[in-house]
Structure 1
Amino acid sequence: MGQPLFRFATSHRRLVYWALGLVTAIFVALLPQIQIDTDPENMLPADNTQRVFHNAVKQRFSMHDTIVVGVVNEKGVYNPQTLGALHALTEYAEGIEGVIEADLMSLANVDNITQEDPGTIRFEWMMKTPPKDNAAAERIRKQAENLPLLYNTLVSEDRKAAALYVPIKDKNQSYAIARELKSHIDALDSSDDWHITGLPVAEDRFGYEMFVQMGISAPLAGLTIFVLLFVFFRNIPFIVPAMIVAMSTVLITMGLLIGMGFTVHIMSSMIAIFLMPIAVVDSVHILSEFADRFKPGDDAKAVIGEVMGHLFTPMLFTSVTSTVGFLSLMITPIPPVQIFGAFVGFGILLAFLITVTFVPAYLCGLSDKTLTRLTQKLPDESQSKLAPALVKLGHLAGSHARLWVMGFVVILAVSVWGISQIQINDNPVRWFKSDHELRIADRVLNDHFAGTYNAYLVLENTQGDNQDKVTAAIEKKAQNKALSEDTADWLKGRASADSDINDHIMAIDDKSFEVSFDEADVLSELLLKLERINSQSKAFLQPEVLSYISDLEQHLKQTGLVGKSNSLADVVKTVNRELRSGEEKDYQLPANANGVAQTLLQYQSSHRPQDLWHFVTPDYQSALVWLQLTSGDNQHMTAVVDAVDQYTTEHPLPKGLELNWAGKAYLNVVWQQQMVEGMLDSLTSAFVIVLIMMVLLFRSLLFGILAMLPLTLTITLIYGLIGWVGKDYDMPIAVLSALTLGLSVDFAIHFIERFRATLSQQQEWSATIKLMFQEPARAISRNAIVIAMGFTPLLFAPLVPYITVGVFLASIMAISAIVTLVMLPSVMSLFKNHLVRTAR
């Protein structure tokens, strides 16, 4: 296959040039259609059970993504200037397009709940107008601190901070809305410290900075590779084809991704920076061997034919194995990771195809005069600075083989221990550097308040609306002898009607005005029965259920994992306190369901009656507990889930209730768990596939196993290093396994393939090892340096995931190259006699 492709490319050079240029131009034209997506929710498939439930809960309880604005004054926020600025910002926020005005929440638009007379309460605006003096500000402090629903949510316990919660219709507008708020804050006559945070802002802000980073990192990577190739070959025309291959691969792959309608997520944004260095790997091998072989007067086509004859098979298999490594990511249940793996895998095969057609065509197209001039400028490969270092490395690798192998075994064991220390964790706010304004805002506000991260505990009544009891009660009354035949038939019809209990109550109440007094008495008895059933069916009007919720909240607070929680129980206890004495001793639940219903009826006469439906559904069949967390880390959220599980195990839920989770903090845990499991499956399956490919390529089980040793040690060492340094296992770290697998085996394939060919020619071990640490080792080392340095622009990124990828990919390249050049010769030395006999 290699030779026909080579002959076609070199015989139709212009066609190759035009085809590559045309295809690249077509896909470049698709790039302006780019759409950015940084929503972690999309890490889960749209039909994922937890994601579907989360969105259903948001709709059911009218919960929205929220921007949190905090004002901090170290001397205290209860002064006319600070509260006046907060009031002005609240009014401004209400008019911003995309903000849900009715649910916006600050001291300026919430109610103060007080007792007017015993048995009656009064709702008045907490801060309808800004306070004019310190005395008025002090009254606001006392009122706010007397309301558990507001305390440590809208005002901090230390009295140094106040918050404004800005619910938004579309989380994709969060960064734009945050900028509007920031602009207005800058225009305020305020000497306070203002901070804006919240997961929606972090995610949307990341999208903006990610877009900028895409435009910087990929070109810088290309420039870095260009400079390195120039250092290696000292001739610009000679390295041009490698750069064309890299740029064409990146542009076509990204154009295809965007043209197919895929959004650019945090993972797919790294496709360009991944492909830029990887795409030049095969070109470097070709250029390196061509530079070694070509002499003035040689036929360029014949030389490149020999080079391609040696390299085509190992380049094909390295490309296929690298592709397998990335395509294995499609096994994961995380859509953005699947897309990343698919398109990087495609890009690698595309780079191979462009390399084996365009590079030979380019080199053969150069005139004899140009090639002679090129070879005169090329450095003497044997005298390069890299050459003596590799000769020494080859000597070290060939000596004391058993000692080297023992050393690698020890490294493997220590790395396995390091892997056991890895902690799975992620948090979108931590995608920014520690000195980023979002990270600072996150630290400051979570130090002052109960927490800016939200999780929702959702309790549902699984016993339904007691329709059977309703039907039985109506049918029984229909048999009462005091009823006329028409009324009895009418009741039987109601019993068989497909209506809820409220419809039945309204219909029977209306009917009671149309019948005789005796029949009306019977219907009145039925109404009382149905109302009791209705009250009992409303699970979250029952004091014992609310008491359970209250006890669970108290337990979570005592664990120290939850800064604060708000629930229907808190609403009921607050209103009940004011209905009774207004004193702390009456901050408790009513004794019966009627008492609970009375408190809620009172609450609905407030200025914000819709707030009730954030905690319970109108049919009282489902309730929500809003948990405030000071950390968005997965480990923190997982600990909260475990605490709830432990509590419900020791204190079973009331009969008929079911507990579930929702909220962004919880969804992050879900997709992280699925990603880890998916990555393990993908790595395992890819490892097995690559092993089979190695055995088939070398037609030898021994050589197949040898080819897998470097990648095994590299993967183990890299992830062991992650455990040693305490780096959290997050999304970027997870996908590094695919790159480690693909590129580590690349070096092994080239080393083993060239070793077998050289040993077959030399028939002598020492001579073979000596030759292996000349051009083959130089090509492997150059590729490792090019790829590692190609990722260094990421080290200067303002986004932590990009820095993480840059650091670890550079480490992977360095480690895999060293392991290949040291470990393989050492292990091969143990089978020296067998390998020499095989070559004869």
Structure 2
Amino acid sequence: MSWVDRFSEAIMAHSRAVIAIMLVLTVVMGAGAGMIEQSSSLDQFQSDSTEAQKLSYVEENFTTGQENTTSAQVIVRGENVLSQESMVEQLRLQQSFRENETVNRTLVDEQPTVGAANLVALASLSGGQQAAQENGSSQQQATQENGTSQQQAAQEAPRASPTLQDQIDALESMNATEYERALGAVLSEDSAGQTSGLAFMPTNYEAGSTSANATMLLVTHQSEGDSGQGGMASDALVDAQLAMQSIANDNVEASGSEVIVFGGGIMGEEINNSMGDSLAIVGPLALLFVVVALIVAYRDVLDILLGLFGIAAVLVWTFGFMGWAGIDFNQMFIAVPVLLIGLSIDYAIHIFMRHREQRQHGGAYGDDDARGSMRVALAGVGIALVLVTATTAIGFLSNLTSPVPPIQDFGVVSAVGITVALLVFGTLVPALKAELDEFLENRGFDRKKRAFGTGGGRFSQTLSIGSTAARRIPIIIILIAALMSAGGAYGATQVDTSFNQEDFIAEDPPEWTENLPEPFKPGDYSMKENLEFVNKNFVREDSQAQILIEGNVTDPETLQRVSDAENETADSDVAVTLSSGEADVQSPLRTMRQVAAENESFNATFTAADTDGDRVPDRNLEQVYDELFEVAPDEAAAVIHRTDDGEGSDGSRSTVDDSSTGGDYEAVRMVISTSGTAAMSDVTTEMRSIADGIDGNGLEATATGQTILFDIVQKQLMDTVIQSLLITLVAVFAFLMVSYRIREGSATLGAVTLLPVVFSVSWILGTMYLLEIPFNVMTGMITSLTVGLGVAYSIHMSERYSLELKRTGSVWEAMSRTVTGTGGALLGSAATTVGGFGVLAFAILPPLQQFGIITGMTIIYAFLASVLVLPSLLVVWTKYLGPDVSFQAPSSDSTAPAASDGGRVEESGTEPTRSSDSDDS
């Protein structure tokens, strides 16, 4: 007796103990589900790359004024947002923000809100442009520079600034001439470097114009270490920005202008809401579809309820594991319940259908009662289920090679889930079914049901298409599949890769969702539209590249290299050009020039260090740095890293080993605002080119920043696709060939079993190309999933065929029983799995929609390959490499027992009569 026979005997002999133990374990594992935390941070997708380490270095060692702050951009849109009335309304909007308790408790103490309206009011109060320069000098650097400049405008505003009410009164008291003069002083090209408000205007704004359809004000929050941009925003920040949007919506009714709030808190809230709304929609839809499919397949209430109970147990175990293991729930894990629902029910269908076959036809030993039939059914499909679980787990675990942490977690959780499904549907559910069927039959209820697809008629004829083709034109079928695969392989080379914020931001849900009842009705989503507007028209506060320059930064050539880099940046297509015509760059050289324009002492030091008059110091750089820190410490600390003892923040010297490294000065940086519409790959290429121009002479320059880190993740996704596919194919090939060599004496049967899955991989990649679906954090796993999920269908077919071949000794009788018996179960499981994944198309998050569509297509291709292509492959294999069996047509009165008895032979050991190919003659 084999191990699977002994196992099935034990389950049925001790069914009540099995039920009790499994229920207790389910409760224990399920307790971990309450410990799951939710995360929507995009930082979690970043690996420990050099660029990530350098960005951490920048964040730890450079400052931009007040620490632990983050900003929200408030965009005001209207017919003319520069009118005097509109400017007053913008100041009143700021006043409303500060008066709101929820918003105010998160704002920084000094100048929490700033925009063009503030600068115009200050210009008026100070008696013109020159006076405004004196009162608002700390805003000068900010308004020239951009995202960094916008934030600094809020952080470095004068401590004794007039109140908002003073500014409102000043604007209201101005006549038309005075207002236009003040507005021109703030928004003209000549104002750049003084009291310029150009940084708060759209990038296409024409300097000096008195009309514009949009402007921006910056709101600075205390972030308590939470940036709210790439990372998770605190609850207080989320609440504050939501309150700001509510106030802004009220402002629309009052002023007629449209106001949108763009910030990390409100963006994170929409992402979190879209995760919850997606689950609320796809979860019930998946269960509903599965129930409908099971009603069609089972036509029995008890079997349906047992299937649903098993699914629930699998989900409890899986999410409990996540809690115990400390794995956070992120955007990707919305697919896990759907994945497990579809895969778990496959196990139930195969076991239940084999159980029904046994009860309907009986076995060699008359095991047709409830308990005996289940014992035989488990023995008959046990090996196949173990192989399916192992190969599917291999497919999932291949994602451990991915450098993207959440993809690794997804692979582990999915592998655990599919293993739990085998455990639940291989022990708990069969034990429950045997107990309940036996209980009901003892009370007069008939529990014998027909297996799906075995009743003859058109349905069985449809399933037999593959076996018929295999008998008549097997080579042609294989050639057609190969040609289609070649076309799919070409399309695979054309599939794009995508990873950016827009991937995770939901679009406004379709109209049909408005008719859904609570709590299934999704909320409103406007952030994606707002993000597109900001990208096209403004400099995003979080859209920056950084160039970190480490090493001998006091070398006389350092600032010349920085100057050359600034010139190269000005010619770059990816860098933002402000309305003043200048590239939006923050650097040590630009900071020095700004401070020199305001401070005579530093100007003298700056000029003395410039030997050729090009306004680029080329000697005594350490003295220039010292003087800059003395007269403008905040501005200096934003672009130069000075240590107290010449050591880095980690206690070590600079990464460039150079004994001439300049004393306490370890690094400088450039901050370059990049276009939100520029391709990430273009930004990375341009910034690395600029950094390469700085490298050398004791300097090491590294291009980094959020955009570059996202581009690295994007490239890692492609690596994940290729590596996981190769690893999965090699591992599954090896596993199946060894398994079939040991069990069937033929390793080639393992290769033949996997070949249809290889076909389906190329088909699905070709489909992605045709549908223009890119590889993202979800679809990037589709190759390993296709192998892991698709091989299950082929294994069930090969296992049944091999079993029937042993029982009957006839190729065609074995194939007929395989495609109508196992083929029917495969169709039922494919329908439930496709339906389960298909409902992801109704998710709010775009990556989930694409994942649902493409995974559903994967299952369809795997099923078609197993019932249409695999029979021809098996026939060819049997003819040239398989056992010596008959190829004669089966007799109509054949009474050989079904394979549901586990393929057991008579005790005497006699095998069914087999004949060679010569029997055909």
1:740 is displaced (CA, Å) by: 1.1
Q: CA deviation at 1:191?
A: 1.9
Contact 2:466 2:872 in 1 (8 A): no
Query: Does residue 782 of structure 1 match 2:835?
Result: no
Once residues 564 and 101 of structure 1 are traced to their aligned partners in structure 2, the CA distance between those partners, rounded to angstroms, is 31
| 2:711 is aligned with 1:638 | no
* Shift in CA distance, 792/67, structure 1 to aligned 2, threshold 3 Å: farther
List aligned pairs for 1:561-710, cutoff 5 A.
Answer: 564-568=583-587, 569-573=589-593, 590=615, 592=617, 610=634, 613-617=637-641, 621-631=666-676, 636-647=679-690, 651=693, 653=695, 655-699=697-741, 700-710=746-756
1:318-467 aligned at under 5 Å gives the runs 318-365=388-435, 366-367=437-438, 368=441, 372-375=445-448, 381-383=454-456, 386-435=459-508, 436-451=525-540, 453-463=542-552
Aligned to 1:312: 382
Q: Structure 1 644/376 Cα, relative in aligned 2: closer, same or farther at 3 Å?
A: closer
Would the aligned equivalents of 2:504 and 2:847 in 1 still touch at CA under 8 Å? yes
Cα deviation digits, residues 780-838 of structure 1 (max 9, x gap) = 11111111101222111111121112111111100110011111122234344235644
| Residue aligned with 2:728, SS | helix
Partner of 1:79: 83
Q: Does the C-alpha gap of structure 1 residues 370 and 292 become closer, same or farther in structure 2, counting only changes over 3 Å? A: farther
Whichever residue aligns with residue 41 of structure 1, its letter is: D
Is the 1:121–1:578 contact (alpha carbons within 8 Å) kept by the matching residues of 2? no
Which residue of structure 2 aligns with residue 39 of structure 1?
41
Contact residue 284 and residue 782 of structure 1 kept, 8 A: yes
Q: 1:402 to 1:335 in 2, by over 3 A?
A: same
- Note closer, same or farther for the CA distance 1:422–1:320 as it changes in structure 2 (3 Å cut): same
Kindly state the Cα deviation for residue 460 of structure 1 after the two structures are TM-superposed. 1.9
In the TM superposition, residue 89 of structure 1 has moved relative to its aligned partner by: 4.1
Aligned residues: 754
2:716 and 2:453 map into 1 onto residues whose CA distance is: 52
Q: Does 1:724 align with 2:813?
A: no
Deviations 1:536-576 (A, max 9, x none): 56987x4x244223212212248889995221344445566
Using the alignment, how far apart are the partners of 1:824 and 1:194 within structure 2?
60
Tell me if structure 2 keeps the 8 A contact 1:148–1:570.
Answer: no
Q: Does 1:766 align with 2:766?
A: no
User: 2:572 pairs with 556, 560, 582, which one?
Assistant: 556
Instruction: Report the Cα offset of residue 295 of structure 1.
Output: 3.7
Question: Judging changes above 3 Å, is the alpha-carbon distance between structure 1 residues 58 and 378 closer, same or farther for their aligned structure 2 residues?
Answer: same
- Aligned runs of 1:752-763 on 2, under 5 Å? 752-763=798-809
1: CA distance, partners of 2:345 / 2:544: 46
Q: 1:136 to 1:360 in 2, by over 3 A?
A: farther
The alignment-based identity, stated in percent, is: 17
Judge which range, 417-426 or 103-112, deviates more.
Answer: 103-112
SS of alignment partner, residue 29 of structure 1: helix
Kindly provide the CA deviation profile for residues 117-152 of structure 1, in whole angstroms up to 9, marking residues without a partner as x: 9x9997287995243255565423541444557666
Equivalent residues in 2 for 1:151-550, closer than 5 Å: 153-156=199-202, 157-158=204-205, 159-167=212-220, 168-169=223-224, 170=226, 171=228, 172-173=233-234, 174-188=237-251, 189-198=254-263, 201-295=266-360, 298-365=368-435, 366-367=437-438, 368=441, 372-375=445-448, 381-383=454-456, 386-435=459-508, 436-451=525-540, 453-463=542-552, 542=559, 544-550=560-566
Deviation at 1:155, TM superposition (A): 1.4
Residue equivalent to 2:848: 802
Residue 70 of structure 1 is matched in structure 2 by 74
Question: Once the 2 structures are TM-superposed, how far is the Cα of residue 403 of structure 1 from its aligned partner?
Answer: 2.2
Specify the SS of the correspondent of 1:729. Answer: coil
How far residue 100 of structure 1 moved from its aligned partner, in angstroms, is: 4.5
Q: C-alpha displacement at 1:77, in angstroms?
A: 1.7
Tell me, in whole angstroms, the C-alpha distance in 2 between the residues paired with 1:595 and 1:538: 7
Please say if 1:18 is aligned against 2:20.
yes
Secondary structure, aligned partner of 2:828: helix
What residue in structure 1 maps to residue 919 of structure 2? none
**Aligned counterparts of 2:184 and 2:34: Cα–Cα separation in 1:** 53
After superposition, the C-alpha distances for 1:380-422 in whole angstroms (9 at most, x for unaligned) are: 8425774332133443454322222222222121112111112
Q: Is the Cα contact below 8 Å between 1:567 and 1:626 reproduced in 2?
A: yes
Quote the Cα distance in structure 1 between the aligned partners of 2:737 and 2:882. 19
Letter in 1 for 2:215: A
Give the CA deviation at 1:346: 1.1
Q: CA deviation digits over 1:464-512, x for unaligned, max 9?
A: 6xxxxxxxxxxxxxxxxxxxxxxxxxxxxxxxxxxxxxxxxxxxxxxxx
CA contact (8 A) 1:160 1:448 kept: no
SS in 1 for 2:760: helix
The residue type paired with residue 615 of structure 2 is: P
Amino acid across the alignment from 1:70:
V
Letter in 1 for 2:5: Q
Q: TM-score, normalised by structure 1?
A: 0.81
1:42 Cα shift?
1.6
The answer on whether the counterparts of 1:456 and 1:627 sit within 8 Å (CA) in structure 2 is yes
Distance 1:673 1:101 in 2: 42
Q: Is the 8 A contact 1:120 1:579 kept in 2?
A: no
Q: 5+ unaligned residues in a row in structure 1: which ranges?
A: 465-535, 581-585
Computed over aligned residues only, the root mean square deviation of the Cα atoms, in angstroms, reads 3.7
